[in-house]
Structure 1
Amino acid sequence: MPFELTKELIEKIESLIEEKNDQELESHLEKYHHADIAEILDDLSLDDATYIIKLLGSDRTSEVLMEMDDDDREKILRNLNAKEIAEEIEEMDTDDAADIVSELSEDIKSQVISNIKDKEHAENIVELLKYDENSAGGLMAKELIKVNENWSVTGCMTEMRNQAENVTRVHSIYVVDNKGKLKGRLSLKDLITAPSKAEIGDVYIRNVDYVDVHTAGEEVARVMQKYDLEAIPVVDEFGRLVGRITVDDIIDFIKEEAEKDYQMAAGISEDVEADSTIWQLTRARLPWLILGLFGGLGAVYVMQGFDSALEKYEILFFFTPLIAAMAGNVGVQSSAIIVQGLANDSVRDSLVKRLLKEVTLSIINGTALGLLVIGFGAITSMAFLVSITIAISILSVIIMAALIGTFVPIILNNRGIDPAIATGPFITTSNDILGILAYFYIAKLILNF
């Protein structure tokens, strides 16, 4: 049965903690998966969650910690001393361990690393911390199975058994030369069926997809998605095999990036959660709200320039929200499609082709909406020239907004800026001002005021 977090379960665990009935508490938690325990801890008080972390062995709680919400995990780690954190770190793969250590303050970080008994594990963590967290080097783990191309099949099997003790899951077997340079990968089937005296160099597969330590996480995700890879090797500047990235790591990265882009598109400039502090939420939202305020003030300033027109054709005023909404909505739609295309590398058309496509689509949509406005004007006995003005304005702002929504993300991406910032308030605000300006200029030409 799927796990269900119930009020009765939480009350049972809280009762056992209060009674200090450690034996029954351990027995009760034994049947749950580490992801389920993480869900339980997220629902407990900080003291109770810390109690369980200290009670259970690090071989279990290390996995539990990685499944917890980042903020809750950070609070629990603050309740542990450097030695206790080091015990948790020693049970983690190097990529997970590096993620945990990176969240610690500088003084605690050095204490934790110095308390790790496995010095090779500690050195690997320190190495991973040197890379950008969103690069292949920052995403990779050091645990992998690698064999030398000059080994015999029999010697290779023996060495693989020794290496496998430190690897949670064996996704691939990589082949290197005497200098540690990646040469290819080894099929388990080929290894088992090969003559015992054969050399690995005679049976391994030479074509292998790999990434460099400095490859951006988005590119790693694209390569793994394109070639349906469960894992991908990572090499350094000299082509030496230094780690591997598994599909679960890249899924976590994609999820985090999607959350950031979603928040950015909604006008939130920092990574925040629903339970973040008032100050964090204010700091994340206020900058874009200020941008929206200035955009609104800009639209008011534009309208003031046509106050005489509004006195003569006051009906124009009532259609300004419609014009602004059309410009904003179309701009966000266009930019969202382009941002998505840039993320999955499906935007390959030339700028000219993209221009023609957007203009054609905008003309079709704008014409359809314009005809509906003219029909509405006829039903409500609106002046024909006013209906034509609004219809042509809608067509014009749709074309303009589509072009802005298309090219701004592309330009930002080409300059190395996250194109997600183009969606939401940025596109909406710019299109509001330009849309209102185009609306009144078109009205001036048609209505002759």
Structure 2
Amino acid sequence: MEEQALEFELTKEFRDRFQQALDEHDDLFIRNILQDVKPADIASLFVEFTTEESKYFLDLLPTEVQSEVLRDLDSETRKKYLKLHEPHTIALLLNQLLSDDTADILHELPVKEREEVLVDLDPELRLQVTELLRYEENVAGGLMAKELIRAHVNWTVVQCIEEIRKQAENVSKFYQVYVVDDHDKLLGRLALQDLILSDARKIVADIYEQDIVSVETYMEDWEVAEIMKKYELVSVPVVNVQGFLVGRITIDDVVDVITEQAEEERQMMAGISESVEEDDSIWRNTRARLPWLLIGILGGLMNAKFMGLFEAELMRVTAIAFFTPLIQATGGNVGIQSSSLIVQSLANPDFVDEGLWKRLIKVLFVALLNGLFLSVLVWCANVLLFQEYTLSLIVSIALFSVVLFASFIGTITPLILNRFGFNPALAAGPFITTTNDLLGLTLYFFTVHLML
């Protein structure tokens, strides 16, 4: 049915026919056309139709499908959709979801409505979600789900298999069994293959692996993502400060974290100061973009004022003004390249520990080679075009200096921002561009002043 999902996303014919069905309340057509469509694809229809229309066609589908669609909606769309529901109805939908998804959705509701929904949740789910709501959303405790498979270290293989069957009723997917002691302290893990192939008379203590990677409830989400990436885990157990098993985090939760981080850094690098989307309000989009645009304007005014200080040199050799865009563009590009690589490397927590000076020296040699190549290329081009040897030499020396300093600034700025707790992605956007514009002009005109 993937072909059908792709069709309704892309074709105007489907949208027009579906709109007609909504207008005419053709419930049979809507049910038939959506019955085999995946929830994530149904969620994409919310972009095409109004919130009221979306609620209408979603109400025609089974409750479990409605719940999955609700889970797959983006946060802003989900908030608008839930405003059309009573707390009791929201609770009926959330009862179909896992505890972590339920907690994430409840975090988006106003406190009063959240409390009303909690009252109507199934008792077991309410207990699990209440515990999850104690944690902030950006830590392991806020990411984890309470549903998991655990086995006591002294169970027999037969007893363990029987208990897994019981526990699996509340767990949609599981990849391994977590082994605990009498107090629920995490001891290790048990692979399903080892459990199935083991002698029925053995106990879990004889076959489980003590070597297990776990995360603490207070650990930040990006740290969890790095651990799961490093050890290639599809799920990881979560323990509290006493080492007791309290939940697990699966790879789909971590993918969401990585996606959000990438989006945030991309917007930072583009000079957008807060997380926004194109369909957000005009004021929100303006507010997010304006600060760095103002910084760019300030940098441009400073550039103009700075060039005025060298009016005598410009009057003397007007051709030097022709090369200011070249100097500024090269400095900006080199700075962004350097800062982008450092920002990417800083995603690895061991980056600074793995020989920082060695990396900086490598950056220096790369800048030397790039600067030498570009300056020689520009010198040859200027000699051929202008037959001005002195001017060509000035531009080439200035360009070489700009490449070196821009590379240094682009490398050191993310490290400094990271050291003081700021997002290093800030250094890979307008900040570096504006800084290197000023730096490039300074070096260029200073070289002109000395050589003339």
With structure 1 as the length reference, what TM-score do the two structures score?
0.95
1:89 matched to 2:81? The reply is no
Give the Cα–Cα distance (whole angstroms) in 1 for the partners of residues 318 and 127 of structure 2: 73
Residue in 1 that maps onto 2:39: 34
Instruction: Report if the CA contact (8 A) 2:178-2:188 is conserved.
Output: yes
1:98–1:128: 8 Å Cα contact kept in structure 2?
yes
Q: Give runs of aligned pairs for residues 135-214 of structure 1, distance below 5 A.
A: 135-214=139-218
1:59 aligns with 2:40: no
1:389-428 CA distance string (max 9 Å, x none): 1111111111111111111112222332221111111111
Distance 2:392 2:214 in 1: 60
Query: Please, which moves more after superposition, 5-14 or 159-168?
Result: 5-14
**Are 2:397 and 1:361 equivalent residues in the alignment?**
no
2:285 is the counterpart of 1:281: yes
Instruction: Identify if the C-alpha distance between structure 1 residues 303 and 224 changes in structure 2 by more than 3 Å, giving closer, same or farther.
Output: same
1:335 to 320, 324, 339: 339
Give the one of 261, 270, 274 matched to 1:266.
270
The equivalent of 1:9 in structure 2 is: 14
Given the alignment, which residue of 108, 111, 115 partners 1:106? Answer: 111
Contact 1:148 1:178 in 2 (8 A): yes
Which amino acid is 2:178 matched to?
A: Y
Give the TM-score of the pair, scaled to structure 2. 0.94
Matched, 1:320 2:345: no
3-state SS in 2 of match to 1:408: helix
Correspondence for 1:255 among 254, 259, 264: 259
Look up the equivalent residue of 1:57 and give its one-letter code.
P
Report what 1:125 is aligned to: 129
1:383 match = 388
Residues 329-358 of structure 1, C-alpha deviation per residue, up to 9 Å, x if partnerless? 111111111111111457354332222111
| Shift in Å, 1:382 | 4.3
Distance in 1 (CA, whole Å) between partners of 2:358 and 2:29 is: 68
CA–CA distance in structure 2, aligned partners of residues 61 and 421 of structure 1: 40
Q: Does 1:304 align with 2:308?
A: yes
Structure 2 counterpart of 1:66, one-letter code: R
- Retained in 1: the 8 A contact 2:100–2:129? yes
The one-letter amino acid paired with 1:365 is N
Secondary structure of the structure 1 residue equivalent to 2:184: coil
Q: How many residues align?
A: 446
**Does the aligned pair in 1 maintain the 2:157–2:199 contact within 8 Å?**
yes
* Higher alpha-carbon deviation: 235-244 or 313-322: 313-322
Residue deviations 1:307-340 (CA, integer Å, cap 9, x gap): 2222212222221121111111111111111111
| Contact 1:190 1:203 (8 Å CA) reproduced | yes
Compute the displacement of 1:107 (Å): 2.2
CA-to-aligned-CA distance 1:193-240 (integer Å, 9 cap, x gap): 223332211111110111111222222222212222111111111111
Kept in 2: contact 1:42–1:69 (CA 8 A): no
Q: 1:5-31 CA distances to partner (integer Å, 9 max, x unpaired)?
A: 233333333333333343443233212
Q: CA deviation at 1:286?
A: 0.4
Could you tell me how far apart the structure 1 residues matched to 2:138 and 2:367 are?
A: 37
- Find 2:221's aligned residue among 217, 220, 225: 217
**Distance (Å, rounded) in 1 between the aligned partners of 2:211 and 2:356:** 35
Per-residue Cα deviation, 1:85-134 (whole angstroms, up to 9, x for no partner) = 11111111111112111111222222222221x12312322322332322
1:234 equivalent in alignment to 2:238? yes
Across the aligned residues of Structure 1 and Structure 2, the Cα RMSD in angstroms comes to 1.7
SS in 1 for 2:386: coil
Give deviations 1:262-289, integer Å, cap 9, x for gaps.
0110000111111111111001100111
Amino acid at match of 2:303: A
Contact 1:10 1:40 in 2 (8 A): no
Q: Secondary structure at the match of 2:182?
A: coil
What SS does the aligned partner of 1:173 have? strand
Matches of 2:117 and 2:42, distance apart in 1:
24
Q: Distance in 1 between matches of 2:316 and 2:133?
A: 67
Query: For residue 424 of structure 1, what is the amino acid of its counterpart?
Result: G
Listed as ranges, the gaps of 5+ residues in structure 2 are none
Deviation at 1:303, TM superposition (A): 1.5
**Are the structure 2 counterparts of residues 315 and 130 from structure 1 closer, same or farther at C-alpha, using a change threshold of 3 Å?**
farther
2:85 corresponds in structure 1 to: 80
Percent identical among aligned pairs is 42
- Write the distance in 2 (CA, Å) between the matches of 1:279 and 1:406: 34
